[in-house]
Amino acid sequence: MSLYDIPLTRLNGTPASLAEYQGQALLVVNVASKCGLTPQYTGLSALYDRFEDKGFQVLAFPCNDFAGQEPGSAEEIQTFCERNYGVRFPVFSKVHANGEERHPLYQALIAAQPKAQPKEGGQLLAKLAQHGLAPKNDSDVAWNFEKFLVSRDGQVIARFAPDVEPQDPALVTAIEAALA
């Protein structure tokens, strides 16, 4: 099964899949409203605005797996994203990125890219470990705002740690290469 065949649900409850984005480069991000990294919505919106007309999509997947930082209902998440960050990119229904209930999309993303590229000089993983919040497995999504880059032909070509911000040159360069 390709990424395009995995059933998804939009935040409004309607069925969806990545097939509607076939031929575009995608940045798949697990998001949360009550996380220290939540301000990354601003940078994700900027990436979307910058590259949308070149065939790029940011796809947000709310996830409550990490310290319960996405507790809201679908309506609350939608309102939060629009009111606080002016989010125009697609937001899907909540998923599990880790554990026994891991969504098939995240199973496929992780299988294709088992290790995230860390932020240069980043301390997030060390801080998570200090607080007993480190991922159980090396391939697990570490925290909210981990980013998977999917090429125009549906291949998962890169994975970035949660603290790699949307404007990080490594991420922007990878997006530009995926769009070239």
Backbone angles phi, psi at 169, to 5 degrees: -55, -35
To the query of whether residue 35 is one of the catalytic residues in this protein, the response is yes
Among candidate residues 3, 11, 35, 105, the one labeled active-site is 35
**Please, are residues 144 and 124 in contact by the beta-carbon 8 Å criterion?**
no
Q: Give DSSP secondary structure letters for 127-168.
A: HHHHTT---SSTTS--STT-EEEE-TTS-EEEEE-TTS-TT-
Looking at the DSSP bridge assignments, the partners of residue 150 are 26, 156
Give CA angle at 143 (153, 103), nearest 5°: 50
Across 30-48, b (16+ Cβ under 10 Å) vs e yields bbbbebebbebbebbbebb
Annotated catalytic sites, by residue?
A: 35
